[in-house]
Amino acid sequence: PHVPVICIDGPTASGKGTLASETARRLGYHYLDSGALYRITALAALRAGLALEPEHEQRIARLARDLPIRFVDGTVLLAGEDIGEAIRSEDAGMNASKVSALPAVRSALVALQQGFRTLPGLVADGRDMGTVIFRDAPLKVFLTASAARRAERRHKQLISKGVSVTIDTLRADLEARDARDTQRAVAPLKPAQDALLLDNSDQTIEQSVAQVLAWWDERQ
Ligand code: C5P
């Protein structure tokens, strides 16, 4: 049977994860956080003593192909260890961005990502869900928000976790990550031709979710 999939792509800290997971919850669909796979790959590579550089592309790709991961009750286990916290830091995001620019690493993760597409359906978030991984998806959303708003939201999140960091540093970091993701040769961050644009700078999460659900209804 044909398994429905909704893609939500967009830049760093645009709120993709929140929007995608909430949409999945409301529809009773599965949820794929594809960025987590790049974050985990980077962590696994660093732990194996590999610098995240093109000279190690093939070795990192091999690690990515055989990641010993399991998703259990909302936690991610790497070789049995809960790495949920370790992969959520800003550094982990920057490291993910480095390994994700290596084409062999991207190919190594294709099958794993496509395997999440099971009944009753999937909501997937990332950078290339609509352009590469689920090209035939009936609904593709490209989610954006101004850099100022994204830095502000990320700042609030980190402060609430007790991390001390300035908005300016965060904004510079996320703009650097956007630049790398947009300029890389393979699967760069860009809206799919058939993507619908959603700017959530001035929206609540509920409003964004309602918009995506309304678009999804139109397609049924
Ligand atoms: O979405 P998240 O911030 O967790 O992603 C971390 C990094 O992984 C991104 O900056 C991007 O470089 C990479 N990524 C990617 N393709 C995806 C998801 C994430 O290249 N589908």
> Is any ligand 1 atom within 6 A of the Cβ of residue 38?
yes
**pLDDT per residue as tens digits for the range 71-113:** 888 788 999 999 999 999 889 999 999 999 999 999 999 999 9
DSSP structural state of residue 86: T
**Angle formed at CA 115 by CA 14 and CA 186, multiple of 5 degrees:** 55
Q: Which of 153, 113, 148, 91 is nearest to 32 (CA)?
A: 113
Q: What is the pLDDT of residue 1?
A: 61
Q: Is the pTM of this model over 0.80?
A: yes
> Could you tell me if 129 and 37 are in contact, meaning their C-beta atoms sit under 8 angstroms apart?
no
**Looking up tokens 């093109």, which residue turns up?**
54
> Residue 145 is which amino acid?
A
Here the ipTM equals: 0.97
> Residue 211 is which amino acid?
Q
Binding site listing for ATP? 10-18
How far, in Å, from the CA of 98 to the mean position of ligand 1?
9
The rounded distance, in Å, linking the Cα atoms of 76 and 45 is 17
What residue ranges define each of the domains in the chain, with the CATH number in brackets? Answer: 5-215 (3.40.50.300)
Q: How confident is the model at residue 220 (pLDDT cuts 50, 70, 90)?
A: confident
**pLDDT per residue as tens digits for the range 115-172:** 999 999 999 999 999 999 999 999 999 999 999 999 999 999 889 989 899 999 999 9
Ligand 1 nearest-atom number relative to CA 129: 21
